[in-house]
Amino acid sequence: MEHTERTPIERACDAVKGQAKLARLIGVSPANVNQWVTGNRPVPIERCVAIERATAGAVTRKDLRPNDWESIWPELAGMPAPEFLGTPEPAPA
């Protein structure tokens, strides 16, 4: 049996326990996620941040768009993952 590395979108589905759950978390249909997983369609740029947040940074925009993330999100260049994840600060008491 040949071992193949999981794609970033497959890892995102694994991180949240399934395609349907990822779809629900990011506001798309399960069919959309399935098309990304099967490679029939690429993950749209506008869904990458939501996937990154849904997976708590386990799959990042950089993972999802390895060839063009710097031109899409130049502000992320040189920043470690936790800093660009965008986790909101707790509200003041």
Domain boundaries, the chain: 8-84
**pTM strictly above 0.85:** no
pLDDT value at residue 4: 83
d(CA 21, CA 35): 15
* Structure confidence at residue 3 (pLDDT): 64
Multiple choice CATH, 8-84, 1.20.1420.20, 1.20.120.420, 2.30.30.40, 1.10.260.40: 1.10.260.40
Say what the pLDDT of residue 13 is: 98
Residue with tokens 């949240």: 16
* SS (HEC) of the chain: CCCCCCCHHHHHHHHHCCHHHHHHHHCCCHHHHHHHHHCCCCCCHHHHHHHHHHCCCCCCHHHHCCCCHHHHCHHHCCCCHHHHCCCCCCCCC
pLDDT of res. 11: 98
Q: Which residues of the chain have pLDDT under 50?
A: 88-93
